Amino acid sequence: QSVLTQPPSASGTPGQRVTISCSGSSSNIGRKFVYWYQQFPGTAPKVLIYKTDQRPSGVPDRFSGSKSGTSASLAISGLRSEDEADYYCAAWDDSVSGNWVFGGGTKLTVL
């Protein structure tokens, strides 16, 4: 059971816009930055979005992040076949001893 809640799957056709949600609480998303990671099968994750809505250099502007209250979203516009991957949200959680928490991951399928 992950602290952050994501839908297990999402899908879209090429060119579409898809969003992946990430629900948390006041001890994590509600007061902390959100991070998004992309992972292809058999490989290590890669950071897509940092500090909620910032893109590292090299990440296409088709990817965007946002947050409202205790929920965050990753939006992918102009969906491409190479976007098919697993996506994870993450945030620091302030409760008790403090630790990083991840969502359970969303498998994105490009139909």
* Touching another protein, residues 20-49 (CB under 8 A): 33, 35, 37, 39, 44-47
Q: Is 81 helix (H, G, I), strand (E, B) or coil?
A: helix
Of residues 72 and 90, the one with the C-beta less far from another protein: 90
Give the torsion sign (CA, 58, 104, 4, 62).
Answer: positive
**63 lies in the site for another protein, by CB under 8 A:** no
Closest distance of CB 4 from another protein, Å: 10
Which of 20, 13, 14 is CA-nearest to residue 37?
A: 20
- Token reading at 48: 């897509």
Closest distance of CB 98 from another protein, Å: 6
52 touches 65 (CB < 8 A): yes
Residues in the site for another protein, rule: CB under 8 A? 2, 33, 35, 37, 39, 44-47, 50-51, 54, 56, 86, 88, 90, 92, 96-105
